């Protein structure tokens, strides 16, 4: 009988020890991930266009909203185009696409001095088999963001 009581006493101490972790609620254990991290997104354009589509405006707006309260350290914007139209025309189109995205992000409140805006034209737009790649009709955006201190 003494062994049974001693065993129950030790079990009670062990169980009590489990509840003495110092955490009062779930939020003490689980932290929300920070939205202020490196992000990448793409903005797609219609064929031969540099005007932002509604989907592009939504992607830019959602990303800008996600990063509110973050310190935006650098934004790289790279305009791309497909292989149609010749090198000079594609370079111009790529530049206009990149500029349209950069202007939309600046209008959303992002600091213009951190922007690195570039264009690749049609470089790499044609596959070795001579197939044109429509996915090149876009602008790539890379964002370096950290939490504000």
Query: Which CATH number covers residue 42?
Result: 3.30.1330.60
Number of domains present in the structure of the chain: 1
pLDDT digits (tens, 9 = 90+) for 113-142: 889 999 988 776 555 566 556 677 889 999
Structure tokens at 63: 């990303």
pLDDT digits (tens, 9 = 90+) for 34-49: 789 899 999 999 988 9
Q: Please report whether residue 106 resides in a domain.
A: yes
Q: Please report whether residue 29 resides in a domain.
A: no
Confidence at residue 6, expressed as pLDDT on a 0 to 100 scale: 47
Compute the chain's Rg from CA coordinates: 27
For residues 74 and 131, is the Cβ–Cβ distance under 8 A? Answer: no
Mean per-residue pLDDT of the chain: 79
List the domain range (segments joined by +) for residue 54. 35-147
Which one, of 76, 99, 80, lies nearest residue 90 by Cα? 80
pTM: 0.71
């Amino acid at each position: 009988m003494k062994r049974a009581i001693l065993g129950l006493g030790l079990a009670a101490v062990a169980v009590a020890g489990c509840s003495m972790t110092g955490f009062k609620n779930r939020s003490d254990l689980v932290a929300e991930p920070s939205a202020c991290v490196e992000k990448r997104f793409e903005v797609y354009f219609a064929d031969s266009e540099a005007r932002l589509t509604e989907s592009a405006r939504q992607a830019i707006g959602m990303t800008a909203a996600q990063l509110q309260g973050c310190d935006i350290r650098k934004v790289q914007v790279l305009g791309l185009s497909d292989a149609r139209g010749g090198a000079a025309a594609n370079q111009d189109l790529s530049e206009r696409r990149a500029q349209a995205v950069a202007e939309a992000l600046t209008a959303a409140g992002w600091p213009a001095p951190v922007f690195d805006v570039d264009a690749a034209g049609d470089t790499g737009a044609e596959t070795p088999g001579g197939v044109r790649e429509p996915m090149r009709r876009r602008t790539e955006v890379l964002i370096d963001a950290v939490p504000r201190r």
